[in-house]
């Protein structure tokens, strides 16, 4: 298994996930102050790691394949 197969998110996808994750987590501290904001950890972590389990199950890949 190559290192490029460990990533299935492209950079724009990752950036959007991190931004959305931070915004949703902020709901815990400001705004409605609901614990549902902790769900923002999911897009934040997947965006930082670069791998999404749902993408793997659905066969989606937004990360360009690297040429060897």
Distance, CA of 51 to CA of 47 (rounded, Å): 7
Residue 64 counted as domain residue? no
pLDDT at 68: 58
pTM, whole model, 2 decimals? 0.85
pLDDT at 65: 78
Residue 63 counted as domain residue? no
Residue 22 counted as domain residue? yes
pLDDT at 1: 61
pLDDT digits (tens, 9 = 90+) for 27-44: 999 988 889 999 999 999
The secondary structure of 23-54 as a DSSP string is HHHHHHHSTT--GGGGGGHHHHHHHHHT--HH
pLDDT digits (tens, 9 = 90+) for 41-63: 999 999 999 999 999 999 999 99
Check the CA dihedral 49-55-59-63 and report its sign: negative
Q: What range defines the domain where residue 43 resides?
A: 3-58
Residue 20 counted as domain residue? yes
């Amino acid at each position: 298994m190559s290192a490029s197969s460990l990533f299935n998110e492209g950079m724009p996808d990752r950036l959007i996930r991190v931004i959305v994750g931070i915004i949703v987590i902020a709901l815990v501290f400001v705004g409605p102050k609901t614990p549902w904001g902790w769900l923002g950890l999911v897009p934040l972590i997947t965006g930082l790691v670069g791998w999404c389990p749902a993408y793997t199950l659905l066969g989606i890949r937004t990360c360009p394949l690297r040429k060897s």
